[in-house]
Amino acid sequence: MTRRDIVVIGASAGGVRALRVLAAALPADFAAAVCVVLHVGPYESTLPALLEAVGPLPAAHAQSGQRLKPGRILIAPPDHHLLLEDGAVRLTRGPKEHHTRPAVDPLFRSAALSQGPRVIGVLLTGGLDDGSAGLQAIKQCGGLVVVQDPADAEDPGMPSAALQAVEVDHCVPLERVGALLVELVQEAAPAAAAALPVSLVHEHLAGVGGENAMDELRQVGVPSTLVCPDCKGTLWEISGARPPRYRCHTGHAFSLRSLAAVQQEATENALWSAVRALQEKELLLRKVAALERSAGDEARAAQVEAEAGQLREQAEMLRGLVEQG
């Protein structure tokens, strides 16, 4: 009997505590392999040790080529996406998704495509909506979806987005997730579909890159008027995606929410650069005014100082707009 014996978990803000609560609730004989993505970016992470300290299951950063094994927790290492292929782990520094690496969606999507109905996807606390598209993929391929109750999450963003985008199988408080998984991994998995969803395959191949990535992207999207904030290439809107999602031919991917968040950050950075430029120009003009005054041209000095004063007013006005958000 094939069981639901692969659990993939995603978390972001508040995720360390949530994952420790979950690890403590899983028994030593837990009958499924566990793979975890926490948004840690490129920074050093001690998450394996933190999970081992509270629960009986061994935990480690995943290594490419490792086979999935029941009762073991494999964690995406910093700055690497964690993918599942043919029952084994693959690590990649491929394009960021939602402006982060590791990201939850690549793990969920690859697990869905490679393991089908055997997969249980679990989405915990975190901001924005990484994981929602991945949970959709898991459902498309016959897997089960568990989402932490947003009212119980330190950051309800990711769980709330998932509930809006996916017909979840279970939405429970964090304290109940462990016991629920113990029950679910004992269930028989239904037979896998004869064929994988074609659009999902194309999008996955577009995301992992390669010489045919552009052709894969053409199969699932149409060019938009938006530009990828990571590489400045054209963003393609994924056809039929709800909520809307975007991907460039390099492989960077965004939801509408994550794209808006990144663009907001880019806009703020541009505005601060403008403030700096105005302040530097004001400083230079005041030096020019001093030079003109030392040369005896008081009229020219006054004119330049007036221009510098206007620049200061413009810089202060722009700074006020930025600080107001």
Per-residue pLDDT of the chain (325 residues), as tens digits, is 799 999 999 999 999 999 999 999 999 999 999 999 999 999 999 999 999 999 999 999 999 999 999 999 999 999 999 999 999 999 999 999 999 999 999 999 999 999 999 999 999 999 999 999 999 999 999 999 999 999 999 999 999 999 999 999 999 999 999 999 999 999 999 998 888 999 999 999 998 876 788 899 999 999 999 999 999 999 999 999 999 999 999 999 999 999 999 998 888 888 999 999 999 999 999 999 999 999 999 999 999 999 999 999 999 999 988 888 7
11 and 156 co-located in one domain: yes
5, 105, 130, 152: which one is catalytic?
130
144 and 218 co-located in one domain: no
Domain that holds residue 282: 265-324
Q: Of 221, 249, 253, give the one whose Cα is nearest residue 237.
A: 221
129 and 275 co-located in one domain: no
249 has catalytic annotation: no
61 has catalytic annotation: no
Would 191 be classed as within a structural domain?
no
16 and 68 co-located in one domain: yes
148 and 25 co-located in one domain: yes
Which DSSP letter does residue 155 get?
Answer: S
| Residues 203, 213 contacting (CB under 8 angstroms) | no
Q: What sign for the dihedral angle of Cα 224, 95, 102, 185?
A: positive
Looking at residue 259, what is its pLDDT? 96
| Residues 81, 101 contacting (CB under 8 angstroms) | yes
130 and 14 co-located in one domain: yes
Would 195 be classed as within a structural domain?
no
39 has catalytic annotation: yes
148 and 118 co-located in one domain: yes
180 and 301 co-located in one domain: no
Looking at residue 27, what is its pLDDT? 98
Would 161 be classed as within a structural domain?
yes
5, 12, 98, 202: which one is catalytic?
12
Which DSSP letter does residue 226 get?
Answer: E
Would 231 be classed as within a structural domain?
yes
Would 237 be classed as within a structural domain?
yes
Would 17 be classed as within a structural domain?
yes
Last residue of a domain, one of 251, 273, 308: 251
3-state secondary structure of 208: helix
| Token representation of residue 298 | 């008081």
| Residues 128, 255 contacting (CB under 8 angstroms) | yes
39, 98, 99, 204: which one is catalytic?
39
Looking at residue 212, what is its pLDDT? 83
Residue whose token pair is 């200061």? 312
Instruction: In whole angstroms, give the CA distance from residue 150 to residue 159.
Output: 5
Looking at residue 193, what is its pLDDT? 86
Would 196 be classed as within a structural domain?
no
246 and 269 co-located in one domain: no
